[in-house]
Amino acid sequence: MVSHTSAKAIPLHQVQTQRLKNKKRQIGLIGGTFNPVHQAHLIMAEQVLSRLGLDAIWFLPDNIPPHKQKKSAIDANYRVEMLKLAIEDNDDFDLNLSEIYRGGVSYTLKTIKALQEQHQDIDFYFILGGDMIQDLPNWYKIEELLPLVTFVGVKRPGYEVASPYPVIWVDSPLLEISSTQIRKRCQNHESIRYLVPKKVMNYINEKGLYQDES
Structure confidence by residue, pLDDT tens digits, 4-46: 333 557 666 566 555 556 679 999 999 999 999 999 999 999 9
CA distance 173 to 160: 17
Q: What is the pLDDT of residue 160?
A: 82
Strand partners, 125: 28, 150
Amino acid identity at 122: I
What 3-state DSSP class applies to 124?
A: strand
Q: What is the pLDDT of residue 2?
A: 31
100-129 mean pLDDT: 95
Alpha carbon separation from 197 to 23, 39, 121, 147 (Å, rounded): 35, 7, 32, 36
Q: Using only C-alpha atoms, what is the Rg of the chain? A: 17
Helical H segments across the chain, by residue range: 12-21, 39-52, 76-87, 98-102, 108-118, 130-133, 142-145, 179-187, 198-207
Q: What is the pLDDT of residue 68?
A: 57
| 187-211 confidence digits (pLDDT tens) | 999 999 999 999 999 999 999 999 9
| 73-111 confidence digits (pLDDT tens) | 899 999 999 999 999 999 999 999 999 999 988 999 999
Amino acid identity at 202: N
Alpha carbon separation from 19 to 15, 26, 169 (Å, rounded): 6, 8, 16
Q: What is the pLDDT of residue 20?
A: 56
What 3-state DSSP class applies to 207?
A: helix
Sorted by where each begins, the domain ranges of the chain are 12-174
Q: What is the pLDDT of residue 162?
A: 85
| 131-172 confidence digits (pLDDT tens) | 889 899 999 999 999 999 999 999 987 788 889 999 999 999
Q: What is the pLDDT of residue 73?
A: 85
Fold for the domain defined by 12-174: Rossmann fold (3.40.50)
What is the model's pTM?
A: 0.87
φ, ψ of residue 129 in degrees (nearest 5)? -70, 160
Among 5, 20, 6, 30, which residue's Cα sits nearest to residue 170?
30
Higher-confidence residue of 180 and 213: namely: 180
